[in-house]
Amino acid sequence: MTFLQYMRLIKTTMLSTFMGMFITIKIFSKAITRGTVTIQYPEMRDNIPPDSRGLLFNDVEDCISCRACANICPVDCIHIEADKKVATATPEFTKGGVKKTLDLKRFDIDVSLCCYCGLCSSVCPTDCLYHTKDYEYSTYDRDHHNVDYLNYTR
Ligand code: SF4
Ligand code: SF4
**Greater model confidence, 87 or 66:** 66
Q: What is the pLDDT of residues 15-40, one digit of tens each?
A: 999 999 999 999 888 888 887 778 89
Determine if ligand 2 sits within 6 Å of the CB of residue 69.
Answer: yes
Q: Is the pLDDT of residue 118 over 80?
A: yes
User: Would you say residue 97 has pLDDT above 80?
Assistant: yes
For a ligand 2 pocket test, name from 124, 147, 148, 149 the mutation site with the most ligand atoms within 8 angstroms of its C-beta. 124
Give the predicted TM-score (pTM) of the model: 0.78
Can you tell me which atom of ligand 2 is nearest the CA of 68? Answer: 1
Over pLDDT 90: what percentage of the chain? 83
pLDDT of 105 above 80: yes
Fold adopted by 56-151: Alpha-Beta Plaits (3.30.70)
Q: For a pocket test of ligand 1, which of 119, 123, 127, 129 has the largest count of ligand atoms closer than 8 A to its C-beta?
A: 119
Across 111-138, average pLDDT: 96
> Tell me, what's the pLDDT at 33?
85
- In angstroms, the first-to-last Cα distance of the chain is 71
Cβ < 6 A, ligand 1 pocket = 56, 72-75, 77-78, 109, 114-120
